[in-house]
Amino acid sequence: MQTNSIFFYLLQWHHTPRNMRAAKDMQNYRRGYPVNKMNNLQFYLNKFPSAPDDIYIESFLKEWKNDYKKLERVHSYIQWLFPLREPGVNYMASELTKKEIEAFKKNEDAKRRLVEAYELMLGFYGIRLVNKETGEVKRAENWKERFGNLERNMHNNLRITRILKSLGELGFKHYQAPLVRFFLEETLVKKTLSNVKRSVLDYFLFAVLEKQERQDLVRFAYHHYEPKDKFVWCPRKIQKQLRKGSRNFDNISSHFSSEYFYVSGKLWAHRGPIHTFPSPVRASRVSARTSSLHRLQTALRV
């Protein structure tokens, strides 16, 4: 009887399929966690479909262009169009690697399609790219309608932040400042997009990688922001220099960038990846008040 039980157990074990997920996990461990197969680059070379939408980039650029309802409703494509070296809400998308970034920058087909994807998303937001060399942008003909959508659906602020970051990663950092300048003019000068204004100042502005361009944008923002005593995106000593017309201020972004944010009247600072909970720092010199809810958007991903 005991022999039969052992035989039955062995037979049952023999027919149980192997856990392939476990096998792959342990193989990756033994091999030192090799980098992925450059899925983002393969996607932009039209050789790999996005997931879970299962669409190739060429089809996306043709079929989704001007389909504003779909672009608004679906949330799984943006991580493929504008990949980052950090996770997003679409767990089926791949994070960028340094090796992949370098390969992407050298591939003309991938870069051409990235610009097309950028133009597609700009159109969705009521903006058009007027100069592919400089990145200059202007209002599109349908800007009123599309601005209305931006005002109603604030998750697009997170998408735009992702777009700006991805452009910087993939060799188009010269596209960052023109887009941020556009949003600063719309929100601070033309007084449109009131629901985008805070994200422009908190996130878009400090996504710009070029230091001088970033400083120029902070200067522009300060001169057009009212009331001046509520401007919290650079230190008071820098603001004094700005009032005097000085262009000589350094490390402006190191003081008030996305590394710092307010919650419940206290200044907090990030140490490491954004998705980790920040550690508190002293804020005795800070008197600005901001929305706790908005600042907590830092922990979100698109």
What does the pLDDT look like over 252-277, one tens digit per residue?
A: 444 444 444 333 333 344 333 333 33
**27: in domain:** no
**22: in domain:** no
**19: in domain:** no
Q: Which residue has the tokens 């710092």?
A: 260
CA distance 238 to 129: 33
CA distance 136 to 155: 24
Same domain, 43 and 101: yes
Mean pLDDT of all residues in the chain? 82
Same domain, 151 and 282: no
How many domains, the chain?
2
Q: Output DSSP code: residue 65.
A: T
- 159-212 confidence digits (pLDDT tens): 999 999 999 999 999 999 999 999 999 999 999 999 999 999 999 999 999 999
CA distance 266 to 262: 5
What are the start-end ranges of the E strands in the chain? 127-129, 137-139, 260-263, 266-269, 279-280
**12: in domain:** no
Which range marks the domain in which residue 275 is found?
259-302
- 44-79 confidence digits (pLDDT tens): 999 999 999 999 999 999 999 999 999 999 999 999
Same domain, 110 and 177: yes
Provide the whole-model pTM.
Answer: 0.74
Same domain, 282 and 164: no
Same domain, 290 and 198: no
**287: in domain:** yes
